[in-house]
Structure formats: C-alpha cells, structure tokens
Structure 1
Amino acid sequence: MDEYLWIKYAHILGATVIFGTGIGTAFQMWAAHRSRDVRGLALVTRNVVKADWIFTTPAVLLQPLTGTVLAVSAGYGLHDRWLLGAILLYGLTGLCWLPVVWIQIKLRDLAAQAAATSQPLPAAYDRLFRWWFVLGVPAFGSVLVIFHLMIQKPTF
C-alpha cells in the first residue's frame, strides 16, 4: 500500500474514533444523567474524561495533519468550497468541543463530590449538563455534514 493510502486510512480511522467515541460517551453521559445515581455518574463522567484524553484528543490532532496531506496530494485547495466548508465546520466542532471537555471535567468533579458525601447532585451540575448537551448538538451535526462533504465533494 502506498503512502497516500496509509494516510487516508489514518484519516478515516481518526474520523471514526472522533465520531464513535463521541457518540458512545454521549450516550453513556446521557444515560447516567437520567439515572441520577451519583455513584454511577461519578464513574461514567470519570471514564468519559479519560476517553476524551486517550482517544478523542489524539484523533482531533491527527485529522488536520492527515487531511492537509490528502488534500494537497490530491490537488485540492481552499478554492474547493466543499473543503473550505469542511475546514470551517471542523473549526466549529472544535469550538464546541473545547468547552465540552472543561464541562465534562466539572461534571466529573461535581458527581465525585456528591458520591463521596452521599449528597444529591447540586444545581450547578444540571446547568452544566444542559450546556454540555447544547454544545453537543452543533458538534455532532457538523461532523455529519463533514462526512457528507468528504464523501460527495459537492460543487456549489
């Protein structure tokens, strides 16, 4: 397999990790949140934060590198609107994801404190969770549109 295909493989794998880890951890967070079980929430939020550092962060860093090599190798540039759109949506996803990472850390800490003291979740937890959810909607939507742009390469 030539170098281009290895880079393409890495790019697709990175996109899969970003979306797969994101949807998996989002489901776990949502299910744990709905349960209101502070011990379960403490465990899930701890694991979600770990998953973001172990899986999502490296994939997020890999995508622009592999994407740039692929685009340049294939002769695409920013004059290709589908590529520019994908880059802008990737930026939007990042602008949503960065505060989500911070929120997840705060949710983890609040859930751990509630579990350690056998107290219910504080109101701050619910406010932060709403923001976590609101920021997740455009992030996931953007990734789906990026997939479409990468596959179809539409002309506008």
Structure 2
Amino acid sequence: MMYLSLKLIHILSAIVLFGLGSGTVFYKVMADKSGDHAAIATTSKHVMLADWWFTTPTVIIQPATGVLLAEQLSASFGDGWLWWTLLLYLITGLCWLPVVILQIRMRDIAVQSLAQGRALPYLYHYYAKIWLWLGVPAFFGMIGITTLMVFHNSLWS
C-alpha cells in the first residue's frame, strides 16, 4: 500500500509540474503576443504565483517520492534509467532556476512600466525570449523523464 500511495503522489505531482508548466508558458506567451500591457502585467504576476504555489512544492515532492519509490523497487543509482532520470531532472532544474529569476524581473518590469504609463522596454522582451528558450530543454527533459519512468524496465532489461 505504501508503494502505491507514493506512486500516486509521484504521478499526481508530475502531472501538476508538467501541466502547470505548459499552461503558464501558453498563457504568458499569449499575453505577451497580445501586446495588452495590463494583461501582460497581470499574467506575469499570476505566473509567479503559480510557480510559488504549485511548481515549487512539486519540485520538492518529485525527488522525495522518487527516491522512496526507488528504495521500494530496490533500484540503485547505478541503474541506467535512474541515473538518466536524475541527470535530466537536474538539467531541467538548472533551466528552471534562471526562469524564476527572469519571471520576477519581467513581472516587476511589466507592473512598473504599466504604473508609469510607459511601453514595455526592450529588456522585458529580451528576458521573455531567454525565458522561452530555457523552457525548451526543460520541456524535453520532462518528456524524457516521463518516458524513462514509464519504460524503465523495458529499456534496461
């Protein structure tokens, strides 16, 4: 029962992590493309809240439940699939950390320029491009992690 409970938490956490990440990218990109300054400022604030409320806990839950599940399966980090999963998770995390910093900066720039009645500066758009491109390896990293989680026995047996 413990294994299944951990597995459920791990899967639900992965769904939230991947789904929320995809959703926030969609809404932020759409807000940016709209050119509606108020929508951009509001969406930027909401993306930050979503990251703090949902993404941050799942970033902690994923490795915690993953280690406990690996122990339940008597898996070791010497197993190829587990090693690759960890590596992809670290790469994804290394992309996410600067994304958080960029999100904070973009939110502040959008809110401040809206309050001052100014157009969004070039710096906002520059940060937005970097933010988006950091999401590409993170997205494929999550696809790779999920694939390894599903097929690990088939790939290394």
Q: What TM-score, normalized by structure 1, do the two folds share?
A: 0.97
Query: Which whole-Å CA distance do the structure 1 matches of 2:127 and 2:16 have between them?
Result: 25
Query: Which whole-Å CA distance do the structure 2 matches of 1:50 and 1:99 have between them?
Result: 16
Segments of 4+ moved more than 2 angstroms: none
CA RMSD of aligned residues (A): 0.9
Q: Sequence identity, in percent?
A: 44
What SS is found at the alignment partner of 1:121?
coil
Superposition map of 1:53-132 within 5 A: 53-132=52-131
Partner of 1:12: 11
Quote the offset at 1:125 in angstroms.
0.3
Quote the offset at 1:77 in angstroms.
0.8
Residue by residue over 1:64-97, the C-alpha shift from the partner in whole angstroms, topping out at 9 and shown as x without a partner, is 1100000111011112101100000000000000
Residue by residue over 1:22-64, the C-alpha shift from the partner in whole angstroms, topping out at 9 and shown as x without a partner, is 0000000100111111110000000000000000000000111
Residue 143 in structure 1 maps to residue 142 in structure 2: yes
Alignment length (residue pairs): 155
Partner of 2:29: 30
Query: Which whole-Å CA distance do the structure 2 matches of 1:36 and 1:99 have between them?
Result: 24
Query: Which whole-Å CA distance do the structure 1 matches of 2:91 and 2:31 have between them?
Result: 27
